[in-house]
Amino acid sequence: MTSEMTRRDFLEVTATTGALFLADALWPASALAQTSSVVAIPEADRIVVTVITDNLADATRPNEKIARRPGGGKLPMDSAMHAEHGLSYHVEAMVDGKPHAFLFDFGTQAQGIKRNIDFLNLDFGKVEAMAISHDHWDHEAAFVELLTGRSTDLPKGLPLYLGEGFFVGTYGKRPSGDVQILSVVSRDEIERAGVVRIVEVKAPTAIVPGALLTGPVPQVTDYERISPNFMAKKGDEFVQEQFIGEQSVVMNLRGKGLVVLTACSHRGVINIVKHAQRLTGVEKVHLVVGGFHLTGAKPEVIARTVADMKAIRPTYIVPAHCTGFEAIGTFAREMPDQFILNTAGTRYFIES
């Protein structure tokens, strides 16, 4: 490839060949930052989002709308999904008749995650990429054990996409004033497993055909602010954590619009969705699913978030993980036609 290769050419090559390493090797992040803000994601004809684990499990929850609940075991306990304060996804996008699967985030308890993966019959041999949204324990603690335990099932040299500054360390302030590190995975641990190749994400990055990591998300709303209890270390001093490296996933379902997967939305779920719209040039949003980080938020912040989401008019809204009881209840009340309650093991089948 030459330096004259256009961004559109790059994405077309990625989509048609499935060359997962092109994003890092052929188009450096510095170049991406200088290109047009509109990125053409190859349209998917079908997307299946499987929530491997989340904060809530409900073995009797019925299917609804696009959500299909886990079930079908021989014994009642077979349908008892592991839930935790964590989040993990398996995603498959069908592009040009070919499925492309990836894993996004890995939760906390490896034994429970493995059980859910086995029950859901997820094929690790077909996984083409992995990504961890940000360096917090509830999205990464199970990763290394899962990686080593499934190393024979995974293709060697699998790309693992991590946001800028992932291994710097991130911290939280307790009510007592003590500072606690929230990071639990090291580069050495990951590299010793000998399975993945670490790719740092500094800009919007295609990870498989049809799926894009957002890169840094601008904060454009005046009410979505990062809690001062989250901190980073600069030298010997603690400073406000900005979560510049936190990633979300964006896909484009043919004829129906964007599918946005968030992790914790520390920079704001509305900021993330608006960034996805600007980034792709696609206004219609079909599905937003993930943690919206509204646990403990002031009522006025929840109200404004829900109002702005209503204005975006997604076809479906699935607040999960760290969204919090109050915010989930508000979404359910204010957006009843779009709202779906997430549970661990739920699959979202969306087709063009």
Q: In which residue are the tokens 């070919």 written?
A: 98
What integer pLDDT is reported at residue 8 of this predicted model?
Answer: 42
Is a pLDDT exceeding 70 seen at residue 196?
A: yes
What integer pLDDT is reported at residue 15 of this predicted model?
Answer: 38
Residues pairing with 211 in the sheet:
208
- Structural domains for the chain: 7-351 (3.60.15.10)
Quick one: tokens of 292? 């919206």
How much is the pTM? 0.89
Is a pLDDT exceeding 80 seen at residue 35?
A: no
| Confidence bin at 324 (pLDDT 50/70/90) | very high
For residue 137, the one-letter residue type is W
Residues pairing with 157 in the sheet:
none
Q: What is the pLDDT of residues 215-247, one digit of tens each?
A: 999 999 999 999 999 999 988 899 999 999 999
| Confidence bin at 75 (pLDDT 50/70/90) | confident
Round the average pLDDT of the chain to a whole number and report it: 90
Q: In what order do the strands lie in the sheet with 170-173?
A: 179-181, 170-173, 230-234, 237-240
| CB neighbourhood size of 272 (10 A) | 27
Geometric angle at alpha carbon 14, from 151 and 162, rounded to 5°:
50
CA distance to 6, 76, 107, 112, 176, per residue, from 119 (Å):
43, 13, 16, 11, 41
Q: In which residue are the tokens 């508000």 written?
A: 330
Closest CA to 248 of 283, 209, 275, 230: 275
Closest CA to 31 of 12, 3, 1: 3
Is a pLDDT exceeding 70 seen at residue 14?
A: no
